[in-house]
Amino acid sequence: MKAKTRKSLLKRFKITKTGKILRRIPGQNHFRAKKSRNVIREKRRWVEVSKEEAQIIKKYLYFPPRK
């Protein structure tokens, strides 16, 4: 049986050309009024996932071989 990609994971992470997995910083959806501008601005960027977490995420993401 063909392995399927977990679509929920695919929407939450970005994979770079070098194979790094990036995620968003949590805490951006609500309660932003009490946070400083700098904190809000810093949370907009993408952060690299740790190596241990990246191995787990890659198991659930299916990558077909490139031609």
Give the CATH number of the domain where residue 39 resides.
4.10.410.60
Q: What is the domain count for the chain?
A: 1
- Give how far Cα 34 sits from Cα of 27, 28, 38, 41, 45, Å: 12, 12, 12, 14, 20
| Domain extent at residue 24 | 7-60
- The model's pLDDT over 4-59, given as tens digits with 9 standing for 90+, comes to 778 888 889 998 989 899 999 998 889 989 999 999 999 999 999 999 999 888 88
The pTM is what? 0.74
In-domain check, residue 45: yes
Select from 2, 9, 16 the least CA-distant residue to 57: 9
In-domain check, residue 1: no
In-domain check, residue 37: yes
Q: How far apart are CA 13 and CA 66, in angstroms?
A: 20
In-domain check, residue 46: yes
In-domain check, residue 24: yes
In-domain check, residue 56: yes
Q: Which helix (H) or strand (E) holds 56?
A: helix 51-60
